[in-house]
A and B are shown apart, each in its own frame.
Chain A
């Protein structure tokens, strides 16, 4: 079902309505973490949790989170189902934030704060799939994984032994950096090993919580399998850019998608003589291994779950994906969502044409002001994100003289699809002023 973005559009909020309450909440949970600290590094622990809170507040200032009451409200019944089915969980300090990232992911901060990336809603198809992910994150909290990782960090660097090792390296006259890198490598490997173990534990406990809910257990395997991006792109929906940005009067030029053939090396990944072992730096066990473990604990047959609550969240999330990317000048991601949603009929024509015309104007202004590169990443030779790369190539190849014509004809030929005359005129006037010599029909 395509969402009708314009009629229902509510501007995104990047700061909470209850900013004071949020501040109080963060102060309360930070103080609790410090007060209940049981280890040997009290001073460092206090510093750590305070810095972490500052960092989190900086993220809010940087518009990393979306404060969307509709999504929060829709999520609550799923969370309630988890809490009522697992009374050992005390959610009184929990607060779930929506991170605007398009990458499907979620995270536990260890102090009651969790975040769910907006991109996760496009990947999950049922309430049950989302519920399993929430159970997994809550399991991290219940198992004190963040505290354990922090303690391991203190043991390695702040202990008497750790400090002595660092001091000895510092005093070395020859090969000091190499020795420091070796020390750092051992520390990193140990941290990542702990992290992989923690993920397996969170899978197991998360599954136990999940199995007690009303949701179908097989959803855990389905969503985990979908999160395996080892051999595929994350934003892989077809965009058909040549079709959707083609106009009769100003046809799409194949040169706009031309690939560069000038590369220094022919490599599949960075050639780094100082790289650590990749497998040892994995934060998580491989998904196939995690699936095997889950399968052994599940007896249910595969049944499709329902998307009762999630369907509304997904629609809202789609709208947010476009708006947040536009608001933050991530014009490559914004065009990806516009094209992929419209191409798969998840987006109505009014929203698509109006927002795409707006985007073309924004693209023109960014290129004109030499600021596009601040927000749109260059094409990486190691990237598998082919759809996103096609957009980046288009942005790079299209000259301003072509873009102004494309914007002009895109508006004229799709005038009937714009939500209103006023919205059409707002954008068309801009492109008209750039093309004084074109006589419109």
Chain B
């Protein structure tokens, strides 16, 4: 029962500032370890978590508190969790049925999965042992933006993606049901002579789609890609698609459509090209049924299909485009969201290279406007919309390799202005969000959070300035079509948190 706070006909006391009450407040203050948003695969937010250290306990244990807010910023739970004092929170996911936290105990070398059912009651904690090597690799992977450890299976359970120290490095996907069913594990062969990593790229109630990358050694530029479709209930491999040298592809997006057909989207390369080195030839879409049979595929080449249509939009030719996301809409179209960039020399980079005896890259990537490509259902490019954005620069990750490869590496380091895209399937909308450094005539340049919104077949934009009137604003993702603003008033030294809807005008 929650309503306006009411104490019917009261005496009014306030004891905020007396010395002893300050002291007791200081003791009872929980220490925040980390916090974040509980994201869905559409980049919407189910809620927010705050992980606190509450107390040190005897025998190497600690008491933690997990505060959970719903997607409207209401506190819905504060749960106690006693465990090792070496616990580190990795990820939090929600599967419509249960909420799951993945932790790593660095001392005991163990993964803990701590879940809560829909009544916020704690589920049985699952523990998975790791070797020292596995622990180190998982900690390293966690620093990268493209590693996900935990995947929700809608209304079923959770998948844990972990490194396995086989003959060479491999992977294991463990399934932990939260709604009945059996647990299972699927992984790379223990005796494999290649390093094999995996990333589940799409999971629904029936299937998990796994992208497997294998290469002979750590420094090898020969990468083989395999897409695997696995029955999420049994853990059995249903089909696999090898993306061999005849048709090299870099798959950037994948999803299961309403008919459980697998839609793969990305860039394609010439036969015998090495993805790590070569420049891509264009974009492709491939649709496969659950047996792995290709039912449809289309390509759009940079040279023949895309470049002619870009002439009206981009004047200079030495630009590349990095695609961050490809979004399907209800009319069967695909919208590819990208940023324009080019490789330029950087004076700072040259100086750094001199200081580091040539180990630092001297080039940088200059990132400019946002672009949205409209492809029809057969992947014919219909239109390109350009959205002006200020120029920003990021150091090139390496002077070698293609600009596109550098761009891929830069994405993992958060170097582009692109933030995320939210997909609102109910309203057939999407929101592509960027940070923009606006260069304004006659006034100070401003940082802005810019959103390009697709609604009813049209684009509009919304903008929130991040630094104005003595306030410093940070944006956090929120539920679909919204953002959370953290507004810090420098003078008053006050932080205001509020959720706002992104505007469609």
Q: Which residues of A contact B (CB under 8 A)?
A: 44, 47-48, 51-52, 55, 101-110, 115, 133, 136-137, 140, 145-146, 149-150, 153-154, 157-158, 162-163, 166, 169-170, 173-178, 180-181, 183-184, 195, 198-199, 202, 224, 227, 229-230, 233-234, 260, 262-275, 283-284, 287, 367-368, 370-374, 378-385, 396, 399-401, 404
Contact = CB atoms under 8 A, between A and B. Distances in A.
A277 B54 CA distance: 20
B27 A265 contact: no
A100 B7 CA distance: 16
A264 B68 contact: yes
Interface residues of B, number: 65
Given A180-B27, A265-B120, A229 B78 contact: no
Given A174-B56, A264-B94, A269-B2, A146 B503 contact: no
Contact of B8 (A105, A162, A163, A379): A105
Interface stretch (B13-21, B179-187, B224-232): B13-21
B505 A270 contact: no
A12 to B, nearest CB: 21
Given A230-B1, A262-B46, A374-B496, A195 B55 contact: no
B75 interface: yes
Contacts of A400: 503-505
Given A271-B120, A373-B499, A383-B2, A265 B18 contact: no
11 contacts: A108-B10, A140-B11, A178-B55, A199-B9, A229-B8, A230-B1, A260-B72, A273-B65, A368-B503, A378-B73, A396-B501
B500 interface: yes
Contact of A401 (B2, B73, B464, B504): B504
Contacts of B80: 273-274
Given A227-B9, A234-B6, A400-B503, A180 B24 contact: yes
Nearest to B460: A401
Interface string B349-384: 000000000000000000000000000000000000
Given A177-B27, A400-B504, 5 more contacts: A47-B17, A48-B15, A166-B23, A178-B55, A227-B9
A195 B13 CA distance: 10
A284 to B, nearest CB: 6
B24 A166 contact: yes
B140 interface: no
Given A183-B24, A399-B503, A265 B2 contact: no
Contact of A265 (B28, B55, B76): B76
Contact of B9 (A136, A267, A274): A136
Contacts of B500: 367, 370-373
Contacts of A162: 20
Interface of B: 1-21, 23-24, 27-28, 30, 38, 46-47, 54-58, 63, 65, 68, 70-80, 94, 99, 116, 118-120, 464, 479, 485, 496, 498-501, 503-505
Contacts of B10: 105-108, 283-284
A262 B479 contact: yes
Contacts of B23: 166, 170
A266 B119 contact: yes
A55 B65 CA distance: 32
B76 A271 contact: yes
A133 B501 contact: no
A173 B55 CA distance: 9
Nearest to A140: B11
Contacts of B71: 260, 262, 264
Nearest to B20: A157
A234 B4 contact: yes
Contact of A380 (B2, B119, B496): B2
Given A158-B20, A373-B500, A264 B15 contact: no
Contacts of A109: 11-12
Contacts of A263: 70, 76
A146 B12 contact: yes
B474 to A, nearest CB: 13
A371 B308 CA distance: 43
A48 B17 CA distance: 8
Contact of A274 (B1, B17, B65): B65
A403 B79 CA distance: 41
A180 B28 contact: yes
Contacts of B17: 47, 51
A163 to B, nearest CB: 7
Contact of B77 (A103, A270, A371, A385): A270
Contact of A145 (B3, B11, B21, B54): B11
Contacts of B30: 177
A177 B11 contact: no
Contact of B55 (A101, A177, A379): A177
Contacts of A169: 27
Contact of B6 (A229, A268, A271, A374): A229
Contact of A110 (B12, B27, B79): B12
A143 B108 CA distance: 61
Given A177-B27, A177-B30, A370-B485, A267 B73 contact: no
A183 B20 CA distance: 12
B20 A163 contact: yes
B14 A55 contact: yes
Nearest to B68: A264
A381 B76 contact: yes
A109 B77 CA distance: 34
A233 B1 CA distance: 10
Contacts of A374: 496, 498
A106 B7 CA distance: 9
A102 to B, nearest CB: 8
B14 A52 contact: yes
A49 to B, nearest CB: 11
Contact of B72 (A104, A105, A378): A378
Contacts of A103: 4-6
A123 B92 CA distance: 46
Contacts of B464: 370
Contacts of B504: 399-401
Contacts of B118: 264-266
A227 B3 CA distance: 14
- Select the residue from B54, B71, B72 with max chain A CB neighbours within 10 A: B72
A284 B8 CA distance: 7
A400 B481 CA distance: 12
Contacts of A133: 9
Contacts of A137: 9
